Amino acid sequence: MDTYFLKNEDIFKFYDHINQKYDLFVPLKLKTTLKVKCDYGFDLPSEDYYLKKYSQADKAEIVFNDYRPIEPARTFFTHFKEEICAYFADDKEKSLKERPIAVFGLKNCDLFSLKIQDFVFLGGSEPDPVYKERRENALIIASDCLHFKEACFCRAFDINPHPTEGFDFNLSPLNNGYVVEVASSKAKVIAAALKDIFTPATLGQLSGRSAKRESVIRRLDEHLDAHKIPKKEILKDIVVSGYNSPVWQEQMHTCVECAGCVLMCDTCHCFLLADEALAENARRLRLWDGCLFKNFTKVAGGANPLKMRYMRLRNRYLKKFNFFIDNMGIQACCGCGRCIDVCPGKIDIRYILRRLYEEKYLPAA
């Protein structure tokens, strides 16, 4: 992989160049008065970043996001609500020609999740044409995490807070610029066009990057020690054996059924094909759906295998840690902690997994 150094003052040249061909999304800081304090001694940041379409007007506010943005990566590839095709073959075809997107600010957790999304939407008997087109044309500009949120727990599942695969570019901040890794042929073309601002990275810069990466890992590991999250190898085991655990009902006492956890989830992929009746004709829509919604599995006769809230919570864990491990070999959880941040009921995946582990392996004497 080619490695370059890009100075801070040249980053906008990089953005401008990409923006010519792509719809570029860049990180901005979310202005909110909400502060979440970590209550066991760590002084962790609580600001959030969001990704916005690049515009000269926002120039002063564009930042480097120290950790993952607020929205899941899949928002760029399957939209929350979109027309998926012309209703019938002889209806006017919805134009699939969209401007390709470039996303700056995705982290390694997001790249892990895109593997799950790819498995679902590109795999199987036939790929999803809309997802495929967007995904193949997109430019992923990933970056290292310099910090982490209280809810971050990627390392618990051996996912590092810096990307090593699955991106076109990866940016690692160092001193007065970025170490840029150029992975794909698409990215190489861009790097070649920008050779004035891309200088080959020095060995010193590479070891500087390693030191920074190790420091983040060390601090994150220390933070995660307190949570005692089970190892990824044992997730399937504890979720299956914990089928009748009291933890499901107990944790759902505070659930308000907003389904924020599934909608903010980086790896959740469920959707519903729905019709929208318009005066002239109907439209075929694809909407994000999720198993925390009451009617997710309801059938026409009225039977609903997931009629209780605790069943729906359990279903989510079985899907992530049983179904995906069986079918794909990896758990459908990247440790981004978005479900923890979004939950008004403070339902915490780290705590639930720990409880399932302790109930099986450390039962009270």
Partner 1 sequence: MKKNIYQPLKATIEEIIQETPTIKTFRLKPEADFSFATGQFIELTLPGIGEAPFTPSSDPKVKDRLELTIMNAGQVTCALHNMNKGEVVGIRGPYGLGYPLDKFKGKDILIVGGGVGLAPLRSLLFSLFSDIDKYNKVIVRYGSRSPSDIVYKDSIPKWIKKDKVDFLVSVDVGDPSWAGNVGLVTTVLNNLPVNLNNAVGIVCGPPIMMKFVTLKLLDLGFKPADIYLSMEKSMSCGLGKCGHCRIGKFYACKDGPVFTYEQLKGLPDNYL
CB 168 within 8 Å of CB 139: yes
**Nearest approach, Cβ of residue 85 and partner 1 (Å):** 4
Spatial CA neighbour of 19 closest among 95, 102, 79: 102
**Nearest approach, Cβ of residue 362 and partner 1 (Å):** 24
CA-CA-CA-CA dihedral for 107, 110, 111, 115, to nearest 10: 170
CB 143 within 8 Å of CB 177: no
Counting Cα atoms < 13 Å in the Cβ hemisphere of 67 gives: 23
Q: Which is nearer to partner 1, 207 or 281 (CB)?
A: 281
Task: Give the rounded distance of the alpha carbon of 130 from its chain centre.
Answer: 19
Q: Which is nearer to partner 1, 325 or 340 (CB)?
A: 325
CB neighbours of 208 closer than 8 A, spacing ≥ 6? 174, 175, 179
Concatenating the DSSP letter of every residue in 60-72 gives GGB---SS--SS-
**Nearest approach, Cβ of residue 194 and partner 1 (Å):** 34
Q: Which is nearer to partner 1, 8 or 281 (CB)?
A: 281
CB 73 within 8 Å of CB 103: yes
**Nearest approach, Cβ of residue 166 and partner 1 (Å):** 21
H or E stretch covering 11? helix 11-21
d(CA 217, CA 234) in angstroms, rounded, equals 22
Cα distance from N-terminal residue to C-terminal residue, the chain: 54
**Nearest approach, Cβ of residue 123 and partner 1 (Å):** 8
Q: Which is nearer to partner 1, 122 or 342 (CB)?
A: 122
Q: Which is nearer to partner 1, 41 or 124 (CB)?
A: 124
Please give the radius of gyration of the chain, using alpha carbons only, rounded to the nearest integer: 22
CB 170 within 8 Å of CB 180: yes
Q: Which is nearer to partner 1, 5 or 121 (CB)?
A: 121
**Nearest approach, Cβ of residue 137 and partner 1 (Å):** 16
**Nearest approach, Cβ of residue 95 and partner 1 (Å):** 11
Q: Which is nearer to partner 1, 4 or 324 (CB)?
A: 324
**Nearest approach, Cβ of residue 317 and partner 1 (Å):** 11
Q: Which is nearer to partner 1, 47 or 359 (CB)?
A: 359
Judged by the rule CB under 8 A, the positions of this chain that interact with partner 1 are 84-90, 93, 96, 120-121, 124-126, 128-129, 243, 269-278, 281-282, 284, 286, 289, 291, 296-303, 305-306, 311, 315, 318-319, 322-323, 326-327
Structure tokens at 179: 């170490």
Q: Using DSSP, state whether 281 is helix, strand or coil.
A: coil
d(CA 17, CA 147) in angstroms, rounded, equals 28
